Amino acid sequence: MTVSEGRREIPPAANLNSIKLSRLRMAATALAALAAGGRSRLAETKTFFVGALEALRRRVFSGDGWSNAKFEEPRSEISTFLVSCRRIFWALALFSGLSNLLMLNGSFFMLQVYDRVLPGHSVPTLVALLVLATMLYLLQGGLDLVRNRISVRIGRYLDERLGLRVYDALVRLPLKTRGDGDGLQPLRDLDQVRSFLSSGGPTALFDLPWMPIYLAICFLFHFWIGVTALAGGVVLVGLTVLTDARTRGPAKASSRHAVLRNALAAEGRRNAEVLQAMGMRRQAALRWQDVNQKYLAAHETSSDIASGLGSVSKTFRSLLQSLVLSVGAYLVINQEATAGIIIASSILTARALAPVEIAIANWKGFIAARQSSERLDHLLKLLPRQEEPLALPQPTGALAVENLYVAAPGSEKPLLSNVSFSMQSGEAVGVIGPSGAGKSTLARALVGVWPHVRGKIKLDNAVLEHWSSESLGRHIGYLPQDIELFDGSIALNIARLDLARFDANATAAAILDAAKAAGVHDLILSLPDGYHTRVGEGGMALSSGQRQRIGLARAFYGNPFLVVLDEPTSNLDSEGEEALTEAILSVRRRGGIAVVVSHRPKALEGVSHVLVVSDGNVQSFGPREEVLTRVLHPAVPLRVVAEGKGGAQWKAN
């Protein structure tokens, strides 16, 4: 074989250009084919994921989960919710695993470009790698989108499962404790936990287990690259632990002062008239400012620590990438690694440590969610879910109070001691006594607002505990001393919020009957919109007397068996007092029982019995005329100051 035959001839320049053009055409054809196939596969993938997500949603958010009997009893309702979401958490873990695997796409793409494409000058290989990387990036984006949407729906599922439960506990809390602090804090706690579950914080926790895998791949690239990445990971984990330790105390103090600050603001809003009339706005503002300064100081300390350590973490991570590049460059100089490993290891190290940085960035939200969850656990344990008792028939016979002891919520000292009396249908009792004697305490105990320490309250031989709150409420009418109406129409307030939507029996006839029984029908018709007049928040659009008479109509709505009225004449004129007397007599005529707490003798004209309370004890009980004759003192004659002795002078005309 000759030398010319053994050597491959170099084609001319024209042939080289044609070869390049043919290769470009081949690459374009391959790209078009891949794009066409990619579009069809993307459509199929989209259909698959949409169907899978819908099936997963129906499976997870339906009530057909595994029985809790297979697991240990949860310690709280929050843990019960988390157990009910275990399938979706597994799904999130699966999506996180796939997403983290696809995160290797960038590193291996750069590795192949530097080690294969550039040395071989292969354009088709570059195009094929680019198309493959693009498809993998699109798949990764779809997985992240699905994962984020699942997280948002977990937050909504939390609200659906616990929202009504937390609201019920919030309403019952003032009846169980003294009611100090911010009354709306439980709802804010629920919002905080939901916001955290819907954010990127939980997804970072699913990414953390992949750190060892990324670090192991770094060790596969080269031992010293792995050592550098591992040292950086240890430092970042240490920063995370330090962030938790340093922010826990200030975060608790900030939360505590925030509750007190909101409580003072709500208190000032409720007492706006007093603050304005008596020039107390500045003093109230200074009280609020003092607490607000403590809140700001604690919040500033917590934020400074979290942001400072977050900045240190971010700076160190950037420095670590440069260190990895430097180590990789040193290895390439000594021909211990290829050039592609430099870029690939830098990207991989950044990805390995990203969950730690995300965790540090979301640490403040995590601490707040953890504290909110602890407060919700405490609240829901303090006020457990009430079981629905067996439905009892409507009471029609008698009210009996036996050896009753009542204490205020959150206190063990009885305000009422050894109270006993009984009433039959068609009777009414007036409760009288000096201020602070325990009259309102007795009224609250009779309607089940304040739980009694000892003794029994019976309706037709059934103690109040045998009734659910909703069932008992249909047979009780209650007018408290402090009248609070709900934002809405007058008809909605009289119908006890059951207008049309909740109770089919909330008819116009029942509303009109209650209004007429309270003597407020003509007053309502005189308003611009009649029964559709909106009363505003707390009934602020009405006068005190109008609020009290509408409250009376609400107490009479549905013809309840037991009607308890606490100081019903405090804001009534003579016409209103006469209407009240007639309303009490109408309750007696239809076979009900009325309990009237009052200081005015006029309010007792419609009662049959009188109960005298003093110092938390019953002093006398019996028919009205007999008791009033025994306990009322004769009137003291009017003393007129003599002329010239000071004071006012009265002269007859």
Residue-wise pLDDT for 440-473, tens only, equals 899 989 988 888 888 899 998 888 888 877 788 8
Quote the pLDDT of residue 427.
Answer: 92
Quote the pLDDT of residue 430.
Answer: 92
Whether the predicted pLDDT of 66 surpasses 50? no
Whether the predicted pLDDT of 64 surpasses 60? no
Percent of the chain with pLDDT over 70: 82
pLDDT tens, 158-193?
Answer: 888 888 888 888 888 877 776 555 667 888 888 888
Same fold, 210-361 and 398-631: no
Quote the pLDDT of residue 252.
Answer: 81
**Mean pLDDT, range 309-317, rounded to an integer:** 80
Q: What DSSP character marks residue 622? A: E
Q: Which of 53-62, 263-272, 430-439 has the lowest mean pLDDT?
A: 53-62
**Helical packing angle, 104-112 and 123-176, nearest 10°:** 160
Mean confidence (pLDDT) of the chain: 78
Burial class (CB in 10 A: 0-12, 13-18, 19+), 627: buried
pLDDT-derived band at 57 (thresholds 50, 70, 90) equals: low
Q: Which of 325-339, 372-386, 493-507, 584-598 has the lowest mean pLDDT?
A: 493-507
Q: Please give the C-alpha separations between residue 296 and each of 165, 183, 290, 300, 371, in angstroms, as whole numbers.
A: 32, 21, 10, 6, 18
Burial class (CB in 10 A: 0-12, 13-18, 19+), 393: exposed
pLDDT tens, 328-385?
Answer: 888 888 888 777 777 777 777 877 777 777 776 777 778 788 888 888 888 888 887 7
**Mean pLDDT, range 414-422, rounded to an integer:** 89
Quote the pLDDT of residue 562.
Answer: 92
At 496 the three-state DSSP class reads coil
Residues whose CB is less than 8 angstroms from the CB of residue 199 and which lie 6 or more positions away in sequence, other chains included: 151, 362, 365
pLDDT-derived band at 29 (thresholds 50, 70, 90) equals: low
pLDDT-derived band at 19 (thresholds 50, 70, 90) equals: low
Q: In this structure, which topology does domain 398-631 adopt according to CATH?
A: Rossmann fold (3.40.50)
Q: In this structure, which topology does domain 210-361 adopt according to CATH?
A: ABC transporter transmembrane region fold (1.20.1560)
Residues whose CB is less than 8 angstroms from the CB of residue 314 and which lie 6 or more positions away in sequence, other chains included: 357
Token pair listed for 489: 């129409």
Whether the predicted pLDDT of 492 surpasses 80? yes
Residue spans per domain, the chain: 17-174+181-199, 210-361, 398-631
